[in-house]
């Protein structure tokens, strides 16, 4: 699902995924101090007897003073070195524990949800769609030409929505499964020809096929848009059964009647084809039964009302949600601990003359 992140609602957080690991360094420090304390008690306890058992013989009047000064200086150096090493070891331990705690840098942004729809277009390609009862720019055009022009503009206004095209006449087939590729949808639309699926109109079969296509999606917002004149109905499945299946599936059918309502707009006989006005009563019944709406395409701009109604009726407003974008940072304290420990080992080897 597409979403828009509000740049004005950002906040930053630093947290540890496993905070328990941060308790390890304090515990180690307590054990270390306890061990040092016990060691000092042991030294003090044996110090008097130990000093009495030690005897020295000096051959230089100042040797004792010089040795004390040298020993004191060496001891100070060793103490500083041990203190530095101890400090660095604790730093390495703390860094390792920090890495084990898995620190995370979290950016929280306000997510404005965008609800997309699944729109399945049911296109009538029966022979009755060749009848020319529309006049556009002073020229007569057939119903299929008007239908394809309206449907092309419809697809252009469904930005972000999935669209599918089911074509029917005597037979029914899915020309385009649900897709967000509107360029492909318009390309497939241009391939629809009158009679490509037969002469008569199996409307019930087409509705059943469209319901099956819509139910392939898990999206809660699914719409069927029927574009037909509603005439010359045939097929094994009655249109009433098809619309009942749509109702049970929770699908609203927006029926758009293509063609004139009366015979007054007839051009006359076309290749022996008897003129049939659009069956608006049947299409109204289908739309009302499924909770959709009926429209009559009186001109090329009539579909704009259907588009507006679908936008209003089939859209649900959702509250913005807070989106957390996490970025792991454990690698940095771990890398620093490895580098520091490696430097300590190299320094120790250098003092021993190994490297």
pLDDT-derived band of residue 24, with 50, 70 and 90 as boundaries? confident
Distance CA 163, CA 147 (A): 16
Percent of the chain with pLDDT over 90: 25
Both tokens of 221, joined, read 């917002």
**pTM over cut 0.85:** no
Taken as a whole, the chain contains a residue count of: 355
pLDDT of 315 reads 62
Which pairing describes strands 103-113 and 172-179: parallel, antiparallel, or unpaired? unpaired
Distance CA 139, CA 149 (A): 15
Distance CA 15, CA 217 (A): 38
Set out the domains of the chain in order of their start, with CATH numbers: 3-108+323-351 (no CATH), 118-313 (3.40.50.410)
Q: Which of 42-56, 94-108, 171-185 bottoms out in mean pLDDT, i.e. has the lowest?
A: 42-56
DSSP 83-138: HHHHHHHHHHHHHHHHHHT-EEEEEEEEEEE----EEEEEEE-SGGGG---EEETT
More confident of the two residues 66 and 347:
347
- Nearest in space to 225 (alpha carbons), one of 278, 159, 297: 297
Q: Write out pLDDT tens, residues 133-167.
A: 887 777 888 889 888 888 888 888 887 789 999 99
Residues 6+ apart with CB under 8 A from 289: 243, 244, 247
Q: Write out pLDDT tens, residues 182-211.
A: 999 999 998 999 988 888 899 999 999 999
pLDDT above 60 (res 10):
no
Mean pLDDT over 34-47 rounds to: 58
Q: Write out pLDDT tens, residues 315-324.
A: 655 555 666 7
pLDDT of 238 reads 92
More confident of the two residues 303 and 291:
291
Residue bearing tokens 């771990």: 334
Give 139-146's long-range contacts (Cβ < 8 A, gap of 24+): 140/267, 142/194, 143/229, 143/258, 143/259, 144/192, 144/193, 144/194, 146/258, 146/297, 146/300
Name the strand (E) or helix (H) holding 322: strand 321-328
Instruction: Please say whether the beta carbons of 300 and 149 come within 8 A.
Output: yes
pLDDT of 49 reads 47
For residue 200, what is the DSSP state? S
């Amino acid at each position: 699902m597409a979403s828009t992140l509000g740049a004005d609602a950002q906040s930053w957080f630093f947290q540890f995924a496993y905070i328990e690991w941060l308790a390890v360094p304090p515990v180690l420090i307590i054990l270390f101090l306890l061990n040092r304390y016990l060691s000092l008690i042991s030294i003090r306890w044996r110090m008097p007897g130990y000093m009495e058992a030690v005897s020295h013989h000096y051959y230089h009047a100042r040797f004792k003073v010089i040795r004390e000064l040298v020993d004191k200086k060496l001891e100070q150096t060793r103490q500083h070195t041990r203190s530095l090493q101890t400090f660095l070891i604790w730093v390495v331990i703390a860094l390792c524990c920090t890495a084990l705690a898995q620190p995370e840098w979290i950016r929280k942004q306000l997510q404005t949800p965008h609800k997309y729809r699944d729109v399945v277009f049911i296109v009538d390609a029966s022979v009755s769609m060749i009848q020319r009862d529309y006049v556009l720019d002073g020229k007569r055009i057939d119903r299929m030409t008007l239908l394809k022009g309206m449907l092309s503009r419809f697809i252009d206004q469904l930005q972000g929505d999935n669209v599918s095209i089911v074509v029917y006449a005597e037979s029914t087939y899915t020309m385009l499964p649900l897709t967000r590729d509107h360029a492909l949808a318009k390309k497939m639309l241009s391939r629809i020809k009158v009679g490509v699926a037969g002469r008569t109109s199996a409307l019930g079969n087409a509705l059943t096929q469209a319901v099956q296509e819509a139910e392939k999606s898990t999206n809660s917002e699914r719409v069927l848009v029927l574009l037909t004149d509603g005439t010359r109905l045939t097929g094994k499945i009655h249109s009433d059964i098809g619309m009942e299946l749509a109702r049970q599936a929770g699908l609203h059918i927006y029926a758009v009647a293509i063609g004139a309502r009366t015979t007054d707009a007839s051009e006359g006989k076309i290749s022996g084809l008897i003129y049939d006005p659009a069956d608006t009563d049947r299409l109204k019944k289908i739309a009302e039964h499924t909770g959709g709406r009926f429209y009559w395409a009186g001109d090329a701009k009539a579909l704009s009302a259907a588009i507006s109604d679908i936008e209003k009726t089939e859209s649900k407003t959702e509250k913005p949600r807070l989106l957390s974008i996490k970025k792991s940072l454990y690698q940095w304290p771990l890398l620093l601990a490895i580098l520091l420990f490696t430097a300590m080992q190299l320094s120790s080897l250098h003092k021993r003359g190994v490297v």
